[in-house]
Amino acid sequence: MIQFENATRTYGNKVAVSDLSLTIPSGELFALLGPNGAGKTTTIKMLVGLLRPSRGVIRVCGHDLITETRSAHLHLGYVPDEPYLYDKLTGHEFLRFIADMYRIPRDLSQERIKREIDRFELHEFADELAENYSLGMRQRLVFAAAFLHDPDVLVLDEPMVGLDPRSVRIVKDLLKAKTADGMTVFMSTHTLAMAEEMADRMGIMVQGNLKFLGTVSELREQVDMETRSLENLYLEITSSETGEHEVASDDI
Partner 1 sequence: MQNQLLDIPQENQLTRRLRGTIAWNLVTTIFHQSRFRFGLVLVLSTIFWAAVFCLFYDAFNFIDSMHAEVMSLLFNTFFSALMVMMIFSTGILMYGGLYRSGESSFLLTCPLRTEAIHAHKFTEALWFSSWGFILLGSPMLIAYGIVRDAPWSFFIMLIPFIVTFVIIPASIGSILCMLVVAGLPRLRLHTLSISLALVAMGILWFSWSTFGSIQSQALTPAWFEETLSRLAMTEQVFLPSWWLSSGLLDAALGGESRELTHKSTLEALKFLGLILANALFLSLVASWVARWTYRKGYSNLQAEVPIRRHRKLFWLDELLSHAGSQVGNPVRLLLVKDLQIFRRDVSQWSQFVIFFGLLALYFYNLRSFNYSHVYASLIGHLNLAVVGLILSTFTTRFVFPSISLEGRRFWILGLLPIHRDQIVWSKFLFSFVGGLIPCLGLILLSDSMLGLPWSSIFVHLMCCLALCGGLSGIAVGMGASMPNFRESSPAKIAAGFGGTLSLVLSAMFIILIVITVGFTNHLNLLQQTIGQLSGNTASRLLGSYGGQVASLLIIIAGGLLTTFLPLVLGIRAFRQLEP
**Distance, CA of 182 to CA of 28 (rounded, Å):** 8
β-pair type (14-24, 184-188): unpaired
Nearer to partner 1, 204 or 252 (CB): 252
Sign of the dihedral defined by the CA atoms of residues 192, 156, 72, 177, in that order: positive
Q: Least distance (Å) from partner 1 to the CB of residue 221?
A: 37
For the chain, the 3-state helix, strand and coil shares in percent, each to the nearest 5, are 40, 25, 35
Binding residues (CB under 8 A) for partner 1: these are 9-12, 14, 16, 45, 48-52, 69-71, 73-76, 78, 80, 82, 84, 86, 88-90, 93, 97, 100-105, 108, 129, 149-150, 248-249
- Residue 172 near residue 159 (C-beta atoms within 8 A): no
Nearer to partner 1, 34 or 151 (CB): 151
Q: Least distance (Å) from partner 1 to the CB of residue 64?
A: 13
Q: Least distance (Å) from partner 1 to the CB of residue 200?
A: 24
**Distance, CA of 31 to CA of 156 (rounded, Å):** 9
Q: Least distance (Å) from partner 1 to the CB of residue 111?
A: 11
Nearer to partner 1, 145 or 195 (CB): 145
Nearer to partner 1, 138 or 220 (CB): 138
SS3 213: strand
Please report, as a single letter, which amino acid is at residue 167: S
